[in-house]
Amino acid sequence: MYMTDQPATPEKGISAPRMLVMGIGSSGARAVADMVALNPEINAVAVDTDTKVLEAIGMDRIIHVGGTITRGHSSGGDVELGRQSIEKDSSSIRKQLRQVDLLVIVAGLGGGTGSGAVPVITRIAREAGALVLTMVATPFKFEGAKVMRVAEEALKRIRTHADAIIRIPNERLFERSDADLPVEQVFARSHQVMMDGIFALGRMLTRNGICGLDFASIHTMLRNCDGFCHFASADGSGENRAETVAESLLAHRLLNKGKMLESTAGIIVGLTGGQDLKLSEIEAVMSRIQEKLPEEVWMNFGVAVEPGFEGRLSVIALVAEQWKEALVDSNRQMGLSFNKKSGQGELLLEATGKGEFTYTDPTIHNNQDLDVPTYIRRDIKLPR
């Protein structure tokens, strides 16, 4: 294993929450490299089994894993090799997680490294006490049923540990008219989506936030969204930028052309503008969004003023599919939760880690980890 480990961005203040973005597998590594190229301040690291990819992305902070297992190659689509590679080098991952409050994992599911390693890293990060947001691109239909199954299996395993998962179905980012785009441009679009979200979260968390949103709100959202969230962003410039961003968000493909807003249980909206941002613009965007939302929705919003944003306005929305209020707000212990929407109680059994078996190999049969309880593997909700 080799790794380069530059000192992380220094904390801005004693209580400034620290966010780390970790790109896992080849697509995750490429995605974070794109982010760092655009914003070198971002605290990011790339992790992969494939040395060719790590060398090509030109990032300073890289971690090569599974050297003795894949010998510097990719896992070749083998999830079990991906998992073993990360388990073997888990100490280098743990080292990165020191004092991290929010870990944002970025990966494409469907290959072996990302699909095998992300569930393990989410577990390690939660054990280290970080809040974990996992942003994953899911495969195109043309990649076939097997790749899709690998991605679905990985999602289930990630779900046992991640606080929140944002799925970015690659398929949904395109219209028929995009069919002739070069593939690099296709992937660049999903990197762009992830990037917008991560940059906006970073802005809200660390600086320039002038109202509303802080780490506590993001914490509430991620801990209560019961697994999956959706994410969309929109940008506008010029005189009518408030209308432009509101309308683009309300028609966004990743929010099912805005329909998800009508049934959401929780939402965070983040607006970023320049020194010229007007109150009337904030009001215009927020009231258009609010018109769409159900009355009892949990909502929080923040505004950030960013140098260089003059003449522009950007909005992000993090949208929860479901909402659970933890009756025992704990720290990942077994607790009861109540699903507000359906009014139906639901017994929420969260995986609590494997105790003394944490670092032993799982029992894998037919690509399934039999140490993961059946109800989690099969995504069964237990009625109360």
Give 190 or 244: the residue with its C-beta nearer to ligand GTP.
Answer: 190
CA–CA separation, 231 and 294 (whole Å): 18
Q: How far is the CB of 345 from ligand GTP (least distance, A)?
A: 38
66 contributes a contact to ligand GTP by CB under 6 A: no
Which of Mg ion, ligand GTP, none sits in contact with 170, Cβ below 5 to 8 A by type? ligand GTP
Encoded tokens for 114 = 């990302």
Find the binder of ligand GTP among 161, 191, 292, 324 (CB under 6 A).
191
50 contributes a contact to Mg ion by CB under 5 A: yes
> What is the residue type of 41?
E
Which of ligand GTP, Mg ion, none sits in contact with 362, Cβ below 5 to 8 A by type? none
Find the binder of ligand GTP among 20, 22, 30, 315 (CB under 6 A).
30
> What is the residue type of 67?
G
Q: How far is the CB of 161 from ligand GTP (least distance, A)?
A: 18
Which of ligand GTP, Mg ion, none sits in contact with 143, Cβ below 5 to 8 A by type? ligand GTP
236 contributes a contact to ligand GTP by CB under 6 A: no
Find the binder of ligand GTP among 43, 75, 160, 217 (CB under 6 A).
75
Find the binder of ligand GTP among 96, 122, 190, 300 (CB under 6 A).
190
Give 56 or 327: the residue with its C-beta nearer to Mg ion.
Answer: 56
CA–CA separation, 40 and 244 (whole Å): 29
35 contributes a contact to ligand GTP by CB under 6 A: no
264 contributes a contact to Mg ion by CB under 5 A: no
70 contributes a contact to Mg ion by CB under 5 A: no
Give 23 or 273: the residue with its C-beta nearer to ligand GTP.
Answer: 23
* CA 169 vs CA 192, 216, 255, 262: distances in Å: 13, 28, 11, 20
Q: Which stretch binds Mg ion (CB under 5 A): 72-80, 233-241, 261-269, 323-331?
A: 72-80
The residues in 310-329 that bind ligand GTP, with binding defined as CB under 6 A, are: none
Encoded tokens for 273 = 């503008």
85 contributes a contact to Mg ion by CB under 5 A: no
Torsion angles phi and psi, residue 77, rounded to 5: 85, 10
336 Ramachandran zone, left/alpha/beta (phi>0; psi -120 to 50): beta
Give 149 or 378: the residue with its C-beta nearer to ligand GTP.
Answer: 149
Q: Does the CA dihedral 77-82-84-88 come out positive or negative? A: positive
74 contributes a contact to Mg ion by CB under 5 A: yes
Q: How far is the CB of 116 from ligand GTP (least distance, A)?
A: 8
Give 117 or 162: the residue with its C-beta nearer to Mg ion.
Answer: 117
Q: How far is the CB of 231 from ligand GTP (least distance, A)?
A: 14
> What is the residue type of 366?
N
Encoded tokens for 254 = 């990743």
Q: How far is the CB of 234 from ligand GTP (least distance, A)?
A: 20
The residues in 101-160 that bind ligand GTP, with binding defined as CB under 6 A, are: 108, 110-114, 137, 139-140, 143, 147
CA–CA separation, 264 and 228 (whole Å): 12
Question: Where does this chain bind Mg ion (CB under 5 A)?
Answer: 26, 50, 74
The site for ligand GTP (CB under 6 A) is made up of 25-27, 30-31, 49, 74-77, 82, 108, 110-114, 137, 139-140, 143, 147, 170, 187, 190-191
